[in-house]
């Protein structure tokens, strides 16, 4: 049976500063590096040997993946990077302190932006320095696909094609796969894998630097077991599909 590991990047500098990050390319903290290194140790202890790896184009995820693969002595496995695995784009909230944003816009409004399935924050103007149109790493992406803001719904809409076209075929061919990405792009994958409802997915939390090891059925499409490897930092998981 193929195995799939989902791991959110270790703590980032803006996680520590309680700031909305999204597509801003911030680095790992020392704690984030330690979490990423521990994820490799946990995966090694679990006997996981990935054949293929996927990550976003943001360095906090890329570095987390590299630390994990180094711990597994498998830095040689093929790695595919895609913007479709990036974090949700927080639009005009990017860079803002979350507490200060609540003080300015109110607890209820910020809760809607953060926790509703389909209500995005205010968009960035196209000439803003943080708009992906102004980042050379997206120069080869169709400009019409680059978001100025996203909800979890629109994040799912750009993650799902990549899941279907790249990650799922690797699993159905029998390969063991690791995906290092972000809270909301991984939440999108969990929604797809566990068939979680639009309402319930907003209650799913993905801890930083804690590998989620999923055993799939022989076809590589349906989870038959799932567990976080660091039980001290585990979050609750959706029920396995019937």
Q: Give me 79's structure tokens.
A: 């790695």
- Asked about 128 being catalytic, the answer comes back as no
Active-site residue, from 13, 87, 89, 182: 87
The Cα 17–Cα 94 span in angstroms is: 13
Residues 6 or more apart in contact with residue 86 via CB below 8 angstroms:
23, 56, 57, 58, 181, 182, 185
* 3-state DSSP assignment of residue 242: coil
- Asked about 87 being catalytic, the answer comes back as yes
Q: Give me 229's structure tokens.
A: 């490897």
Q: What is the 8-class DSSP label of residue 83?
A: G
Q: Left, alpha or beta for 157 (phi > 0: left; psi -120 to 50: alpha)?
A: alpha
The pairing of beta strand 223-228 with beta strand 79-81: unpaired
Four-point Cα dihedral 21, 24, 29, 35, nearest 10: 70
The Cα 53–Cα 168 span in angstroms is: 12
Q: Give me 193's structure tokens.
A: 């894998």
Q: Looking up tokens 């990017």, which residue turns up?
A: 94
Active-site residue, from 9, 89, 131, 182: 9
Q: Which residues are catalytic?
A: 9, 87
């Amino acid at each position: 049976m193929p195995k799939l590991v989902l791991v959110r990047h270790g703590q980032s500098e803006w996680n520590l500063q309680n700031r909305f990050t999204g597509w801003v390319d911030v680095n790992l903290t020392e704690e984030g590096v330690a979490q990423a290194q521990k994820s490799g140790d946990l995966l090694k202890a679990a006997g996981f040997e990935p054949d293929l790896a996927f990550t976003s184009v943001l360095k906090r995820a890329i570095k987390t993946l590299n630390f994990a693969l180094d711990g597994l002595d498998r830095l040689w496995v093929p790695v595919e990077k895609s913007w479709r695995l990036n974090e949700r784009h927080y639009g005009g909230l990017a860079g803002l302190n979350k507490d200060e944003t609540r003080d300015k816009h109110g607890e209820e409004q910020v809760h809607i932006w953060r926790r509703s399935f389909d209500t995005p924050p205010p968009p960035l103007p196209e000439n803003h320095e943080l708009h992906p149109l102004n980042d050379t790493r997206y120069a080869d992406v169709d400009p019409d696909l680059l978001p100025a803001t996203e909800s979890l719904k629109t994040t799912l809409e750009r993650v799902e094609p990549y899941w279907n076209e790249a990650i799922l075929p690797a699993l159905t061919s029998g390969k063991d796969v690791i995906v290092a990405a972000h809270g909301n792009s991984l939440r999108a994958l969990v929604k797809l894998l566990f068939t979680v409802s639009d309402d319930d997915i907003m209650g799913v939390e993905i801890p930083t630097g804690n590998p989620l090891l999923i055993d799939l059925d022989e076809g590589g499409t349906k989870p038959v077991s799932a567990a976080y490897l660091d039980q001290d930092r585990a979050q609750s998981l959706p029920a396995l599909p019937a």
